Amino acid sequence: MVTHSNKSSEQHSQPVISVRGLVNRFGANVVHENLDLTLNQGEILGVVGGSGTGKSVLLRSIVGLKRPNDGTIEVLGTRLNDLSEEQRSQVERRFGVLFQRGALFSSLNLQENIALPLIEHAKLGREEAEYLARLKLSLVGLSPNTALQFPESLSGGMVKRAALARALALDPDILFLDEPTAGLDPIGAAAFDELLVTLRDALGFSVFLVTHDLDTLYAACDRVAVLSQKRVLVTDTLARVASYDDEWIQDYFQGPRGRAAQHAHQN
């Protein structure tokens, strides 16, 4: 497993997200009940779980797209429950979000997609925003030639990188990624994982990463949280989580695919 250079016990004592007693319901369907989770400063936390465990619902609750039924969410030292809409909006501008399919605006080219939050939220002029947009594209490894291209003309890997550039537009403290390597070939997925770790090390943001990709867990994540039974069953290093006595965890991490991923990332 990869050991990341900027991790320390001091950083682990500084949570940037603290979720306590979270409850999420859709009608009679209870998705989360008394769920607790912590994201530490500077870490990449991988969130995994079986179908229907509410991984994306948890992400949406934290970023403000879904109001929980109960519980508290504290982000960057502030309880979101206690904030007005305007105050909450100010906190949420410190988030960067990459949705599963990129969610780029098809009618805008890449430069315009990335400039949009800079114009709307940072109140920059168009020229300055588009200049910064080109810098963000370079940051994620896309050439200046891509700036005027539209999403439909790009490969899946390029769309993911462009969406990552937009998520980084406002220099977020916390990056939320929902299945960022889904649909990518193994080479493209590995390149994305490497890019994510490089940017985290360089820029110092924290990452909440929903994934099912075992290679991503081994290549990029400092800790792993497993959603099961409507809560977080265990959160720890990947090696400790993989040895946890639970049927789903054992099937996931110790099955053929899990063993192959582990072997591929052993030093």
pTM of the full structure: 0.89
Domains recognised in the chain with CATH numbers: 15-94+214-267 (3.40.50.300)
Regions of the chain where pLDDT drops below 50: 1-3, 5-12
Amino acid 89: pLDDT: 80
Q: In what order do the strands lie in the sheet with 15-26?
A: 29-40, 15-26, 70-75, 78-79
Amino acid 267: pLDDT: 56
Amino acid 144: pLDDT: 83
Amino acid 13: pLDDT: 57
Distance CA 222, CA 75 (A): 19
Between β-strands 44-49 and 223-228, what pairing exists: parallel, antiparallel or unpaired?
A: parallel
113-120 LR contacts (CB < 8 Å, sep 24+): 113/151, 113/162, 113/166, 114/162, 114/165, 114/166, 114/169, 115/169, 116/166, 117/166, 117/169, 117/170, 118/169, 118/170
Amino acid 263: pLDDT: 64
Each residue's pLDDT tens digit, 138-187: 999 998 889 999 999 998 889 999 999 999 999 999 999 999 998 889 99
Amino acid 64: pLDDT: 87
Decide: 51 and 58 in contact? Cβ < 8 Å: no
Amino acid 10: pLDDT: 40
Helix (H, G, I), strand (E, B) or coil at 21: strand
